[in-house]
Amino acid sequence: SPKPPVEWRRKLLATAALNETFEASLCSRGLPPKLLLWARIRLAPAEEIMDGVPTDLGVSRLRSPLSADTEAEIRSSILLSLQKIRAPFDSAVEEDDAILTRRALPARTRLAVQHRRLAKLLLDGLMEGMHAELSDLEREAQAPAQKGSKRVGAGYSTSPERQREEAKRRAKEQRRQQVRQQREKRLEERSAQRSL
């Protein structure tokens, strides 16, 4: 008989060496793969995780993107968490820039403002990327597939179709990461110029 969802998801987390709660270090390159794996285990529909029932209880299946609807739900949940983290920073990055241009700023205050500014830049960049990913996923979910009435990302009739779709998704993610890295590099260069 099938395991109760809560107990079963706990076993998946244990198999993936993850805990009930997840603390991640964020970086400008995008979301950590372990965070996405954790979110899929916590949020994906049971029948989607069990597709194929791999020997490791479904963990390997969850390292790759699931259906567009599930991926959108996962990213919406993570985006909401990022917005909650960002909310206490009530000032804009431009306000921090203005503060940092003052000459008579105490060293401790300058360091605190620089830290706050970089945290806001990181969160804003990640949220911008999440909004773009959500838009892409919504388009995928709405676009008719070439064969039959299937939706892109909602299921595949053959393994090669699944592999092609996952390869496309990985290529998109790599392009997004390159853009994020270029943006972060420009921001670091500007920050270095200001500190001189």
Number of domains in the chain: 1
Q: Which domain holds residue 171?
A: 5-195
Q: Tell me the one-letter amino acid at 114.
A: Q
User: Stretch 106-135: mean pLDDT, rounded?
Assistant: 92
pLDDT digits (tens, 9 = 90+) for 82-98: 999 999 988 889 999 99
Q: Give per-residue pLDDT as tens, 19-53.
A: 888 887 888 888 889 999 999 988 888 878 776 54
* Domain at 120, CATH number: 3.90.1420.10
pLDDT tier for residue 195 given thresholds of 50, 70 and 90:
low
Rounded to two decimals, the pTM is: 0.65
